Amino acid sequence: MNPVPFVILYLIPAATSAALAVYAWKQRHYRQAGPFGLLMAALAFWSTCHALSVADMTLEGTLFWSQLQYGGVVLVGPLLLLFALAYADQWAWATAKMRVVLYAPSLLLFIAVMTNESHHLWWTSVAPDTSRPFLSLAVERGILFWVHTAYSYLCILAGIGLFIHTMLEAPPIYRYQAQLVVIGAFIPVAGNIAHLLGLQVRWVDDPTPFLFAATSLFLFYATLRYQLLDLAPIAQREVFESMPDGVVVLDRQGVVAMINQHAPDLLAVEPARWVGKKFVTLIDHSPLAPSLRTVLSTPATPASQRVQYAGEDGLHGVEIRLRPLHTGRGTYAGSLLVLRDTTERVRMEQALGRRLEELTIINEAARATSAAMQVDDVLRTVTHAIVRSLRWDRVAIGLSQSDGQTLQLVVDHARDAGPSLEGQYLSANDFEPIMKVLHTRQICVLQAGDHRSNDTSVEGMLQGLGLRMMLSIPLYSQSQPIGVFFLGSRTAKNISTNEIRLAETLGELVTEAVMRTRLYEAAQQASQLKSALLATISHELRTPLTSILGYEELLQREIFGPLPEHVREPLGNMRHSGLILLRLIGDILDFSKLEAGLFTIDLHPVDLTSVVNNVADTMRPQIYERGLSFHVELADALPLVRGNSARLEQVLTNLVSNAIKFTDTGAITIWAEQRGSHVRLSVQDTGIGIAPEHQAVIFREFYQVQNLHTQRVRGTGLGLSISRRLIELMDGTLSLESAPGVGSTFRCDLRLATVSTLEQVQVRE
Ligand code: ADP
């Protein structure tokens, strides 16, 4: 008997398993490598002990090694089950307690086999078997052996069940590997069952180690070929599951091969089972369905889409990306669908958009409030902007009336034209909660059906306007209530603090606008009253003054009898003063009419030559009286200008009178010449001139430069202001060029009379 070849035979599975155990040890950072390595180590131990039992030529030795090999045998079942749990991604089951429960029977059974001599429950009899070319044992199996067999098979069958389940669930790329693992697990089971049923091979007393060695080779092949350990499905799945994106792998037919835990959430659908089913039918109820269908319509080309949809808890955003998957040979194998949650970004963009909208509205309202001159205009602009851009369906503003108990709705603007309450009054008796807002200065939210709006009139108003809720904001200025700002919504909604702050800001703008425009209106009214009063007074003064001057003239003409010589001079002074007074009254009357907007002027083609000659004839005596020389320089064939001859004479007289007043020596010249589409009429003097700082302001009403001349000759300071306005009413301009000590030149630029202006036009300021 030479056992060496048989020892070598048994060492083959021992070496194979040991090599795989070492390999698994190196890969131990993968979860499956642990139980796989231990399984291989148990097989290596089993085969080694068996080889030693064959090598030993004594009965005691053979018996000892045969018993010791069970140290590996009893562990094969539990370890295979643990490996299957890890492989099937069910490692959560393999808790420490569970592992103790699994190993405990193995330990007890190993103790039982080692102590068989004392109880014979494992093997009831042991005898040398010399039928083989080496010494082996012929045993009668006892009850504990069958307990061990049953326990091992229970574990192994559970493990195989898990392998089969994994194989069926595995995505295509792992399917071959899973099949190899299942076949590998079946081989020793089939062989062992045959062995236990009595199938004998002469050369081998127990084929199980060989069969397990075959399993090991299968797994080794799976390890090399499909990288069982390095790219283990579990590790892959862990990465896959822990990805923040939703990932779906679809095969060529669009059937789900793999889906991670985030994908259903992002797809917003949760069917019972994804894997193995057609993707497009599963996402029927997903809000992403239309975009997904578009993206998947050409699954072999990369595509991406951004989707936004409103969920129950607000806006959601998902970015869909499709990447086709190709085999090594470049043929299309399926697609990878990646879903990225962009909700945060979308919501941030939405918030930014709202903020921008709010700022735009505030800006629009601020512009309206600073530009408008009437309360109604401002309120209308603000309410329209709110309804157009914000989430409110109706905006109204009620202004408090003088009794403090009534509000008048000055604006009521709805998104779609409905019944308007504009112009209506709300009284404290009818709308108590609303008036409370005004007096307590507390913002109030009235909801239809709410206890606070229990007031039937408010409830009725809300219902009548089709509103579910209304936000009422008090408007007050310097602690005086001025009104209430109402924002209504057709749907019940939560009002954010931002919305309340925006409404308050708009309320403040409205308040400011109301106050400002009220002041403006009051000032306007006062100014008009003042102008009307001035006009009346000047008119009333002029009548008796004209009469005084008339009697003076009759006296001068000695209609009432001859005049003593000494009376003539005071009478002349009286006339002079009367005429000055008449001019002043005329100026004030013109000014007040201009201010009150009651001044009208007829425009017609005017011959400037006759205007200038008339004024020159009237003023010449006064000019010569002051010892000044006087020149009139008119261009030949001056064209007609657009204007009013009487008013032009008034302006020219005023300019020449000023020139006389402020010139002590030298000359006064009147020019007129055509300059393009204008005719320039100038009055030049060599008088005291006007300092630059006064040049712009002398055109203001009642402005006079204080000097000896203005003290000597009294004026109103209205002449230039009225002159400029008159020239402007004729579409012309009045300007000045002056240097102190040199003289001044006042220029009127008047437009040429065109064919259309030859018709008489009435202009009202
Ligand atoms: P009034 O002559 O009644 O004072 P005006 O409006 O005609 O009012 O003139 C305003 C002021 O402009 C005058 O008080 C004077 O100081 C200044 N002014 C007007 N014309 C001249 C001028 N030709 N030379 C110097 N100062 C002038």
Ligand 1 centroid from CA 647, angstroms: 19
Distances, alpha carbon 463 to alpha carbons 32, 151, 410, 469, in Å: 68, 77, 21, 10
Is the beta carbon of 660 within 6 A of some atom in ligand 1? no
State both tokens at 295: 């993206």
Ligand 1 centroid from CA 743, angstroms: 12
User: Which pLDDT belongs to residue 762?
Assistant: 43
Is the beta carbon of 662 within 6 A of some atom in ligand 1? yes
Is the beta carbon of 650 within 6 A of some atom in ligand 1? no
Q: Output the residue whose Cα is nearest ligand 1's atom 23.
A: 659
Tell which one of 587, 694, 698, 742 to mutate to probe ligand 1, the residue whose CB is within 8 A of the most ligand atoms. Answer: 698
Q: CA 27 from chain center: how many Å?
A: 51
720 CA closest ligand 1 atom index: 6
CA pair distance 355, 349, nearest whole angstrom: 10
Order of strands, sheet of 246-251, starting from the edge strand that comes earlier in the sequence: 256-259, 246-251, 332-341, 314-326, 303-311
Tell which one of 665, 720, 734, 747 to mutate to probe ligand 1, the residue whose CB is within 8 A of the most ligand atoms. Answer: 720
Query: Is the Cβ–Cβ distance between 623 and 655 less than 8 Å?
Result: no
Ligand 1 centroid from CA 661, angstroms: 8
Is the beta carbon of 715 within 6 A of some atom in ligand 1? yes
Distant-in-sequence, close-in-space partners of 22: CB < 8 Å, separation ≥ 6: none
CB atoms within 10 A of CB 166: 22
Is residue 310 exposed (0-12), middle (13-18) or buried (19+ Cβ within 10 Å)?
Answer: exposed
Ligand 1 centroid from CA 658, angstroms: 6
Helix (H) or strand (E) holding 249: strand 246-251
Is the beta carbon of 116 within 6 A of some atom in ligand 1? no
Is residue 448 exposed (0-12), middle (13-18) or buried (19+ Cβ within 10 Å)?
Answer: middle
Beta pairing, strands 425-427 & 406-414: antiparallel
Q: What pLDDT digit, counting tens, does each position of 262-284 carry?
A: 898 899 888 777 877 889 888 88
- 3 state DSSP class of 237: helix
Helix (H) or strand (E) holding 355: helix 343-371
Ligand 1 centroid from CA 764, angstroms: 27
Place of tokens 């807002």: 437
Task: From 619, 620, 625, 549, select the one nearest 581 (Cα to Cα).
Answer: 549
CA pair distance 41, 25, nearest whole angstrom: 10
User: Which pLDDT belongs to residue 328?
Assistant: 64
State both tokens at 414: 């709805």
Is the beta carbon of 657 within 6 A of some atom in ligand 1? no
End-to-end CA separation in angstroms for the chain = 139
User: Which pLDDT belongs to residue 172?
Assistant: 61
CA pair distance 266, 339, nearest whole angstrom: 7
Long-range contacts of 700-706 (CB under 8 A, 24+ apart): 701/591
User: Which pLDDT belongs to residue 220?
Assistant: 66
Q: Output the residue whose Cα is nearest ligand 1's atom 3.
A: 715
Query: Is the Cβ–Cβ distance between 100 and 94 less than 8 Å?
Result: no
Phi-psi region of 549 (alpha: psi -120 to 50; beta: other; left: phi over 0): alpha
Ligand 1 centroid from CA 748, angstroms: 16
CA pair distance 178, 165, nearest whole angstrom: 9
CA pair distance 484, 505, nearest whole angstrom: 13
Ligand 1 centroid from CA 700, angstroms: 11
Ligand 1 centroid from CA 532, angstroms: 26
Is the beta carbon of 188 within 6 A of some atom in ligand 1? no
| Torsion angles phi and psi, residue 20, rounded to 5 | -65, -35
Which residue type occupies 762?
A: Q
Ligand 1 centroid from CA 685, angstroms: 12
CA pair distance 179, 221, nearest whole angstrom: 12
Ligand 1 centroid from CA 698, angstroms: 7
Is the beta carbon of 398 within 6 A of some atom in ligand 1? no
- What string of H, E and C letters represents the secondary structure of 107-127? HHHHHHHHCHHHHCCCEEEEE
| Torsion angles phi and psi, residue 218, rounded to 5 | -60, -50
Is the beta carbon of 54 within 6 A of some atom in ligand 1? no
Q: Output the residue whose Cα is nearest ligand 1's atom 13.
A: 704
Is the beta carbon of 53 within 6 A of some atom in ligand 1? no
- What string of H, E and C letters represents the secondary structure of 472-540? EEEEEECCEEEEEEEEEECCCCCCCHHHHHHHHHHHHHHHHHHHHHHHHHHHHHHHHHHHHHHHHHHHH
Ligand 1 centroid from CA 596, angstroms: 24
CA pair distance 417, 420, nearest whole angstrom: 8
- 3 state DSSP class of 306: strand
Distant-in-sequence, close-in-space partners of 677: CB < 8 Å, separation ≥ 6: 751, 752
Ligand 1 centroid from CA 572, angstroms: 26
Is the beta carbon of 705 within 6 A of some atom in ligand 1? yes
Is the beta carbon of 586 within 6 A of some atom in ligand 1? no
Alpha-helical runs (H) found in 662-765: 692-695, 708-712, 719-729
CA pair distance 136, 52, nearest whole angstrom: 11
Q: Output the residue whose Cα is nearest ligand 1's atom 18.
A: 658
699 CA closest ligand 1 atom index: 6
Query: Is the Cβ–Cβ distance between 396 and 409 less than 8 Å?
Result: yes
Is residue 54 exposed (0-12), middle (13-18) or buried (19+ Cβ within 10 Å)?
Answer: buried
DSSP string, 566-595: HHHHHHHHHHHHHHHHHHHHHHHHHHHHHH
Q: CA 309 from chain center: how many Å?
A: 15
User: Which pLDDT belongs to residue 145?
Assistant: 92
Is the beta carbon of 710 within 6 A of some atom in ligand 1? yes
Ligand 1 centroid from CA 708, angstroms: 12
User: Which pLDDT belongs to residue 214?
Assistant: 79
Task: From 71, 91, 68, select the one nearest 81 (Cα to Cα).
Answer: 91
Is the beta carbon of 687 within 6 A of some atom in ligand 1? yes
Is the beta carbon of 658 within 6 A of some atom in ligand 1? yes
Ligand 1 centroid from CA 718, angstroms: 9
Is residue 478 exposed (0-12), middle (13-18) or buried (19+ Cβ within 10 Å)?
Answer: exposed
CA pair distance 696, 732, nearest whole angstrom: 17
Is the beta carbon of 688 within 6 A of some atom in ligand 1? yes
Long-range contacts of 352-360 (CB under 8 A, 24+ apart): 354/498, 357/389, 357/390, 358/390, 358/498, 358/502, 360/389
Long-range contacts of 310-313 (CB under 8 A, 24+ apart): 311/268, 311/287
Task: From 679, 648, 686, 697, select the one nearest 754 (Cα to Cα).
Answer: 679
Query: Is the Cβ–Cβ distance between 643 and 750 less than 8 Å?
Result: yes
Distances, alpha carbon 405 to alpha carbons 398, 438, 474, in Å: 12, 9, 14
Q: Output the residue whose Cα is nearest ligand 1's atom 7.
A: 719
Task: From 184, 23, 167, select the one nearest 87 (Cα to Cα).
Answer: 167
Half-sphere exposure of residue 710: CA atoms within 13 angstroms, side-chain side = 13
Is the beta carbon of 656 within 6 A of some atom in ligand 1? no
718 CA closest ligand 1 atom index: 6
CA pair distance 139, 145, nearest whole angstrom: 11
The stretches in the chain having pLDDT less than 50 are 229-231, 453, 759-765
To the nearest 10°, report the CA torsion of 193, 197, 203, 207: 10
715 CA closest ligand 1 atom index: 3
DSSP, res 278: B
